[in-house]
A and B are shown apart, each in its own frame.
Chain A
Amino acid sequence: MQHVSPVREPLVTGGKTYHDITEDVCRQVEAKPNVRWAAALAVSLVGLAIFIYSVYRTLWFGIGEWGLNKTVGWAWDITNFVWWVGIGHAGTLISAVLLLFRQKWRSSINRAAEAMTIFAVICAAMFPVLHMGRPWLAYWVLPLPNTFGSLWVNFNSPLLWDVFAISTYFSVSLVFWYIGLIPDFATIRDRATGPIARRAYAILSMNWTGSAKAWSRYETVSLILAGVATPLVLSVHTIVSMDFATSVIPGWHTTIFPPYFVAGAIFSGFAMVLTLMIITRKTFKLEDYITMEHIESMNKVIITTGSIVGVAYTTEFFIAWYSGVEYEAYAFINRATGPYWWAYWSMMTCNVITPQLFWIRKIRRSVTATFIISIFVNIGMWFERFVIIVTSLHRDYLPSSWAMFSPSIIDIGVYVGTIGLFFTLFFLFCKFFPVVNMAEVKAILKSSSEVTHHHSPASGMHGTAKGSNTNTHHSNE
């Protein structure tokens, strides 16, 4: 029955059995926290403390604590918002788009990638909410009847579309992630020895028994959720890009923005997934599940989207000149050669040049090189948003209002703080939730593991080819 593909590498190595998968994934959930994890969490908590302090300063003294001025009224806040939302794209892309494309390599990374999505969107949401200045009135963005004679929100504004897009994206991703977690929580529940763990995981696993009927519905729900989440993930960054594209600022008012932003989002998202996965597989010894094949596949996505982003940078530069609009042309020349040239060239180096190294197979399959390049991409994508936002705003039509932007310590604090918040959430997730989707990995084990799993041949029925079993690749040769 075991089919060894001559082309594809196995997705699960080390000759695992079903029980090994349970053991390997449940290990860090059940064991006492290890020192490395505790140290990492402690560092993240310092970041979280910085976040809380910076938010306190922002709310108590107001937005004046940030480095914004009359000309550059949007800077680090929106840069960080778009950066985090972009990172948040990979999770749903991996779990939804790759599910529709039947890419089995998604199975062992989708759980952590979706967790990353959810945490990244939480971090992203902090910035627009804090920028409101009075976040306790954040509900004003919703179309609720009010005392102004029911003056409604403006449905023509991309900023309002963003409210709907981000909140829908967050809640649908959360539900998708949770549905996948239910069977795995049940596995932990049935193994739990302590009274607290047993009760906690019993509640989380929602009475899941793993009956065939439940699995059948589970599969249907996953497929439909993937189907609706796929256009959703594309719509989110499209709408984020419209925040800029529908305005008349030179450098923003371009039709290329939606696809360019979506490609950039996938690019940065996969980079962050790689950063996290390389740390996770090392820390929790999951090298048999997150294999070289996984890393290489993700690197191929990086090189594809990185090249799309490169083409987009070139195209917008060319069109700025070709359009003959002097303001547009100036915005781009100013980006590359003006006072923010260093940001522009950091972006170009990190996003366009370094990912091209992945054309070399050796680099694509090197953990160290991948880790370093993924950090470069994360940095580059931050600079991309900074370049688009700040360089376009700081010199617009009226030279008398030209200004420079420099971040205040609180700007930096909020940004570094969200990284702390993100990693705090991620490390807590790693400890208490199964980081690899056990059920899905078990489902691909027979068709895609390295060695035939140990099974007593007593029945003699092993390999009775039943056409009904589509899970296993039947080899008729």
Chain B
Amino acid sequence: MNKKFVLGIYDDEDVLLTAIENVRAAGTKIYEVFTPYPIHGIDDVLGIKRSRLPIVAFMCGLFGTCFALWMQIYMLGFDWPMIIGGKPHLAIPSFIPVTFELTVLCAAFGMVITFFIVTNLKPTLKVRMLDKRSTDDKFVMAIEVKEGTTDLAALSKLLRSNGAIEVNEKEVVK
């Protein structure tokens, strides 16, 4: 099924933020906003919830810690105990560096892989940009058009009165 969008194009982040607030206050659902760089404060006005990725990082880091400690204790303490430099078999202090490194490694990779999955980031040739200028210098507010219910003229007026420099329509073929 084809999806149709109305795109409000903005060229200033502060105008955009105000516009988002006003458009949402007018009861219009914003499909997505595309910006060339991260805008501070956009999460609040769009109602984007705080990301749970830090929790993922913490859990993965915790796994790394446990795995590293288990690995070293099992290998040098139980599987093949050796006396090295007169140290006890379970020389916990000298296991700390490797434990730390594996904690960081697992936290970073676990979080980044999760980020790629949830954000649908993957190498692909089929990239669907609603307006290519949004990776350059324009801020694009996309509103999905529902046949029969969306009043296009009123929507266009709403966007323009909130500072949009252009209002375009775009159909996306599924």
Please name all residues of chain A whose beta carbon is closer than 8 Å to the beta carbon of B133 when the two chains form the complex.
Answer: 190
Contact with A168, one of B104, B111, B115 (Cβ below 8 angstroms): B104
Closest-by-CB residue of B relative to A467 is B41
Contact with A470, one of B40, B48, B109 (Cβ below 8 angstroms): B40
Are the CB atoms of A179 and B104 closer together than 8 Å?
Answer: no
Please name all residues of chain B whose beta carbon is closer than 8 Å to the beta carbon of A458 when the two chains form the complex.
Answer: 165
Closest-by-CB residue of B relative to A166 is B101
Contact with A156, one of B80, B87, B120 (Cβ below 8 angstroms): B87
Interchain CA distance A158-B133 in the complex, whole Å? 51
CB distance from A205 to the nearest CB of B (A): 7
8 Å CB interface, B94-124 against A: 94-95, 97-98, 100-102, 104-105, 107-109, 111-112, 115-116, 118-124
8 Å CB interface, B103-151 against A: 104-105, 107-109, 111-112, 115-116, 118-125, 127-130, 132-137
Closest-by-CB residue of B relative to A236 is B101
Q: Is B65 an interface residue (CB 8 A)?
A: no
Contact with B72, one of A155, A165, A235, A464 (Cβ below 8 angstroms): A155
Contact with B127, one of A155, A189, A463 (Cβ below 8 angstroms): A189
Are the CB atoms of B38 and A439 closer together than 8 Å?
Answer: yes
Q: Is B5 an interface residue (CB 8 A)?
A: no
CB distance from B31 to the nearest CB of A (A): 10
Sorting the interface of chain A by its residue count into under 10, 10 to 19, 20 to 34 or 35 or more gives 35 or more
Are the CB atoms of B108 and A228 closer together than 8 Å?
Answer: yes
Are the CB atoms of A165 and B107 closer together than 8 Å?
Answer: no
Contact with B39, one of A202, A221, A471 (Cβ below 8 angstroms): A471
Are the CB atoms of B13 and A446 closer together than 8 Å?
Answer: yes
Are the CB atoms of A235 and B127 closer together than 8 Å?
Answer: no
Are the CB atoms of A210 and B15 closer together than 8 Å?
Answer: no
Interchain CA distance A29-B136 in the complex, whole Å? 15
Please name all residues of chain B whose beta carbon is closer than 8 Å to the beta carbon of A442 when the two chains form the complex.
Answer: 36-37, 137
Contact with B15, one of A220, A443, A461 (Cβ below 8 angstroms): A461
The tally of residues in B whose CB lies under 8 Å from a CB in A reads 77
Please name all residues of chain A whose beta carbon is closer than 8 Å to the beta carbon of B34 when the two chains form the complex.
Answer: 209-212
Interchain CA distance A440-B17 in the complex, whole Å? 19
Interchain CA distance A442-B135 in the complex, whole Å? 11
Are the CB atoms of A152 and B79 closer together than 8 Å?
Answer: yes
Contact with A22, one of B40, B53, B54, B137 (Cβ below 8 angstroms): B137
Please name all residues of chain A whose beta carbon is closer than 8 Å to the beta carbon of B45 when the two chains form the complex.
Answer: 468
Contact with B35, one of A19, A212, A239 (Cβ below 8 angstroms): A212
Are the CB atoms of A175 and B98 closer together than 8 Å?
Answer: no
CB distance from A431 to the nearest CB of B (A): 21
Q: Is B154 an interface residue (CB 8 A)?
A: no
Please name all residues of chain A whose beta carbon is closer than 8 Å to the beta carbon of B169 when the two chains form the complex.
Answer: none
Are the CB atoms of A439 and B37 closer together than 8 Å?
Answer: yes
Please name all residues of chain B whose beta carbon is closer than 8 Å to the beta carbon of A228 when the two chains form the complex.
Answer: 57, 61, 104, 107-108
CB distance from A343 to the nearest CB of B (A): 30
Are the CB atoms of B127 and A207 closer together than 8 Å?
Answer: yes
Q: Is A400 an interface residue (CB 8 A)?
A: no
Closest-by-CB residue of A relative to B95 is A155
Chain B 82-101, CB within 8 Å of chain A: the 1/0 string?
10110100010011011011
Are the CB atoms of B109 and A171 closer together than 8 Å?
Answer: yes
Interchain CA distance A115-B36 in the complex, whole Å? 22
Binds B, one of A143-151, A265-273, A298-306, A319-327: A143-151
Interchain CA distance A158-B123 in the complex, whole Å? 38
Q: Is A232 an interface residue (CB 8 A)?
A: yes
CB distance from A335 to the nearest CB of B (A): 28
Top-8 shortest CB links A-B: A18-B137, A468-B41, A459-B163, A161-B97, A152-B75, A190-B132, A471-B40, A164-B101
